[in-house]
Amino acid sequence: MSSNYNNLMNKSDFLAKYGLNLKIERIRNKLTQEELAEKVDCTAVHIGYIERGLKCPTVFQFLKIARALNLSLDEFFKEF
């Protein structure tokens, strides 16, 4: 296997990091979980699960969340 493959983070590490980034950006944008959920058409409970790394958003949800936070996907995932 290539060394690039070996350097990939596992799913739980990815979800934890994404969730933390989501929470930071949500707070930076002065949004509650409820307000963000309304913008991306899901529930506040689901946003909470994502922020805690317990759920993985769909690709479409990734895009909607980034847009709701005024970020491109590139900007949101720059640290990965």
pLDDT confidence of residue 4: 55
pLDDT confidence of residue 6: 57
CA-only gyration radius of the chain, Å: 13
Mean pLDDT by 10 residues, the chain (80 residues): 61 94 97 98 98 95 96 84
pLDDT confidence of residue 38: 98
Torsional class of 29: left (φ above 0), alpha (ψ -120 to 50), beta (otherwise): alpha
- What's this model's pTM, rounded to 2 decimal places? 0.84
Query: 66: which 2 tokens?
Result: 């980034």
